[in-house]
């Protein structure tokens, strides 16, 4: 049965990679890449980093030059959303009134901001950060050195906080648990709390948001303990949820994202799902997860293209991630899920160190702050047969690079 046309819904990191890799794998059929956004496909990470700081403009964001899509015969349709999947007819209905048949459909619909459940969340002056329009609006507002309240101390909230503080905004971060609590070790969480205070931010920890108040725009955030934080602007960064509405409406199995098997195939064999929207079993880790990272989106884009080109392999790529906050460059290799022992390599006081997390005696994750060498080594050790003990990891004299190269 012919796979052509391959229709890809979503032109983020995952969708663009899938289209590109299909050509690299020799797929010669038709490729249609649908994007609900009007901008040429772009990188999201700079939106909370260089772009927000004003160190990069819109021209630095594109994922690929426009010529790439033409040359690779990728039919990129900007501002055209898929509105319905007719699985029986193998057809996708489009927001421009048209429809397109598919041989194989790839859902790369990403994620959307989790909505804060509090009165006042729709007031002008309340922002979330997911796309270029959001980043542009926040960037413009920051120029006035506002009183900004950031709700959520995850990666994005803290990246915005570091930039806001550096631009002279009076910055307060509200967090119900601990900074980056879902993703990093307590050691790292504590360090970042201290560093952000040094950058100039104030924290309200262990408390939630009861309401956002204001007449015509946001003027204050009311906390669950009754405290009122005056604000000129509010940014909500409490995580994302998978964009799986299209899949759900089509009757595909969904549970914290679109459920796929180890080959990234959904409950319908003619449909795959990749990137932020996919809930997948990690072949090497042995558990199901949904990841929100460029690495995952890109590697799953490559994996689905390889499978469609007749080279199937269970998805087992090492997860890695980065986050820039002020002058702290954090890089994470592996996942902290189930880690039962942490050790530190280097001295956190020098602001250049790594934490090594072990699961059942095996290295599972390395978090490196301003230590790119440890990150590079970790990527070559985690998930391999190379054995590293916690004692060796914590010993600065131990030759980590040597082990990685072996
Ligand atoms: C501000 C910010 C900073 C980040 N920083 C980092 C970082 O430092 N490192 C890192 O690894 N990751 C980072 N991430 C996460 C990373 O950007 C995502 O994991 C990545 O973009 C996922 O790629 P994706 O293609 O799965 O989804 P997305 O990039 O979200 O792309 C999905 C696209 O699909 C489109 N779409 C959805 N539904 C439809 C439809 N029905 N029809 C047509 N199009 C549709 C959406 O509009 C969107 O353009 C950051 C994210 C944000 C928002």
Q: Convert the pLDDT of each residue in 82-95 to its tens digit.
A: 999 999 999 999 99
pLDDT the model gives residue 344:
98
Please report the atom of ligand 1 found closest to the CA of residue 15.
Answer: 25
Task: Say which residues have a Cβ less than 8 Å from residue 30's Cβ, sequence separation at least 6.
Answer: 4, 5, 6, 73, 75
Q: Return phi, psi of residue 86, to 5°.
A: -100, 100
Q: Which atom of ligand 1 is nearest to the CA of 41?
A: 49
How much distance in Å is there from the Cα of 10 to the middle of ligand 1?
A: 9
C-alpha angle 301-99-249 in degrees, rounded to nearest 5: 70
Q: End-to-end CA distance of the chain, in Å?
A: 45
pLDDT surpassing 70 at residue 1: no
**Ligand 1 center to 396 CA (angstroms):** 38
CB atoms within 10 A of CB 307: 19
Question: Are the C-beta atoms of residues 319 and 292 closer than 8 Å to each other?
Answer: no
Mutation choice for ligand 1 from 45, 183, 236, 304, CB with most ligand atoms inside 8 A: 45
- pLDDT of 292 > 70? The answer is yes
The pLDDT value recorded for residue 138 is: 98
**Distances in whole angstroms, Cα of residue 279 to Cα of each of 24, 43, 131, 164, 300:** 26, 22, 22, 33, 12
User: What rounded mean pLDDT belongs to the chain?
Assistant: 96
In whole angstroms, give the CA distance from residue 181 to residue 177: 7
pTM of the model: 0.97
pLDDT, tens only, 137-157: 999 999 999 999 999 999 999
Which residues face 342 on adjacent strands? 357
106 Cα: distance to centroid of ligand 1 (angstroms): 15
User: CA 25, CA 313: separation in Å to the nearest integer?
Assistant: 14
* 351 pLDDT higher than 70: yes
Candidates 246, 157, 253; CA nearest to 196 is 157
- For residue 110, the ligand 1 atom closest to its alpha carbon is 27
For residue 182, the model assigns a pLDDT of 86
Q: What proportion of the chain, given as a percentage, has pLDDT over 90?
A: 97
Closest ligand 1 atom to 276 CA: 26
Q: How confident is the model at residue 266 (pLDDT cuts 50, 70, 90)?
A: very high
Cα of 110 to ligand 1 centre, how many Å? 5
The whole-number average pLDDT for the span 322-337 is 96
Say what the pLDDT of residue 145 is: 96
328 vs 188: CA distance, rounded Å: 11
Q: Tokens 């884009």 map to which residue? A: 301
pLDDT in tens, 159-216: 999 999 999 999 999 999 999 998 999 999 999 999 999 999 999 999 999 999 999 9
How much is the pLDDT for 294?
98
Exposed e or buried b for every residue in 336-375, given b needs 16+ CB within 10 A?
Answer: beebeebbbbbebeeebbbbbbbbeeebbbbbbbbbeebb
Pocket of ligand 1 (CB under 6 A): 9-15, 34-37, 44-45, 47-48, 81-82, 108-111, 129-130, 156, 243, 246, 275-276, 292-295, 297, 321-323
Give the ligand 1 atom nearest the CA of 240.
53
């Amino acid at each position: 049965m012919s796979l052509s046309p391959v229709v890809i819904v979503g032109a983020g990191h995952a969708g663009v990679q899938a289209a590109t890799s299909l050509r690299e794998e020799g797929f010669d059929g038709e490729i249609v890449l649908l994007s609900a956004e009007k901008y040429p496909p772009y990188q999201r990470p700079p939106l909370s980093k260089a772009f927000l700081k004003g160190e990069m403009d819109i021209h630095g964001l594109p994922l690929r030059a426009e010529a790439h899509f033409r040359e690779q015969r990728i039919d990129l349709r900007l501002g055209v959303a898929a509105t319905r999947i007719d699985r029986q007819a193998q057809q996708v209905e489009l927001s421009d009134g048209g429809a397109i048949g598919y041989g194989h459909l790839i859902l790369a619909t990403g994620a959307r901001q989790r909505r804060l459940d509090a009165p006042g969340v729709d007031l002008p002056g309340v922002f979330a950060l997911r796309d270029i329009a959001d980043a542009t609006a926040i960037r413009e507002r920051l120029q006035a050195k506002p009183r900004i309240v950031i709700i959520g101390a995850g990666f994005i909230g803290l990246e915005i906080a570091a930039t806001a503080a550096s631009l002279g905004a009076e910055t307060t971060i509200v967090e119900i648990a601990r900074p980056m609590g879902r993703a990093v070790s307590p050691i790292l969480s504590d360090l970042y709390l201290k560093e952000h205070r040094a950058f100039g931010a104030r924290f309200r920890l262990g408390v939630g948001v009861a309401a956002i108040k204001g007449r015509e725009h946001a003027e204050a955030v009311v906390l669950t303990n009754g405290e009122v934080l005056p604000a000129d602007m509010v940014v909500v960064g409490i995580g994302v949820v998978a964009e799986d509405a299209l899949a759900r409406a089509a009757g595909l199995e969904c549970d914290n994202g679109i459920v796929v098997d180890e080959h990234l195939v959904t409950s319908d064999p003619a449909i795959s799902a990749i990137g932020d929207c996919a809930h997948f079993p990690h072949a090497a880790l042995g558990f199901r997860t949904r990841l929100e990272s460029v690495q995952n989106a890109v590697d799953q884009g490559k994996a689905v293209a390889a499978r469609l080109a007749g080279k199937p392999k269970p998805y087992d790529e090492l997860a890695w991630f980065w986050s820039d906050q002020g002058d702290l460059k954090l890089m994470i290799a592996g996942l902290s899920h189930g880690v039962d022992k942490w050790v530190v390599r280097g001295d956190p006081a020098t602001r250049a160190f790594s934490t090594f997390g072990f699961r059942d005696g095996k290295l599972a994750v390395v978090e490196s702050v301003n230590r790119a060498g440890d990150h590079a080594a970790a990527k070559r050790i985690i998930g391999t047969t190379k054995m590293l003990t916690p004692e060796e990891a914590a010993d600065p004299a131990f030759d980590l690079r040597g082990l990685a190269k072996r």
